[in-house]
Amino acid sequence: MIIDLTENLGEYRSLNPRIANGLEKLNEVELDYTKRFDFDGGYLFFQEGTTTPIDEGTFEAHKKYMDVQIVLDGSEYVAWAPINQLVVEVEYNPEKDVVRLNGSPKETMKITKGMAYICLPHDGHKALKYINQATKYKKAVIKIEI
């Protein structure tokens, strides 16, 4: 998992050149929580809501897409662990490109407005969480084909 400031995301084009397409699309569209926005090499969507307790839910990981998750407002905690240190709870669903996993986080990070993180296929991640008190969030999720 890579954590950085949103303003630095363009620096990760060498990781996957399609990141540039996703960032370009993000700058072109207006915030709309009801739509999916396709671009060459992936798609993006927006989320808003209230975080849930860190000890609830499962980790997830993806095979076809990497996630670029950008906090636009508010904050969240994200728990991370390598998938080889987690146990499969729900087998991989190729249509939804997700496997659900259980286990203990290796690290837990607070992500605030102006920050972003990139999840690769080996990154088990549990997002939209809180530790002491629920928070509101607004974020963009960019799915980049691997």
Tens digits of per-residue pLDDT, 9-33? 999 999 999 999 999 999 999 999 9
pTM: predicted TM-score of the whole model, two decimal places: 0.95
Task: Give the pLDDT score at 31.
Answer: 94
The two three-digit tokens of residue 26, written as one number: 């993000």
Task: Give the pLDDT score at 40.
Answer: 97
For the chain, domains (ranges, CATH) are 2-145 (2.60.120.370)
Mean of the pLDDT values across residues 69-91? 98
Measured distance CA(125)–CA(103) in Å, rounded: 11
CB 128 within 8 A of CB 53: no
DSSP class of residue 69? Answer: E
Q: How confident is the model at residue 35 (pLDDT cuts 50, 70, 90)?
A: very high
Measured distance CA(70)–CA(43) in Å, rounded: 14
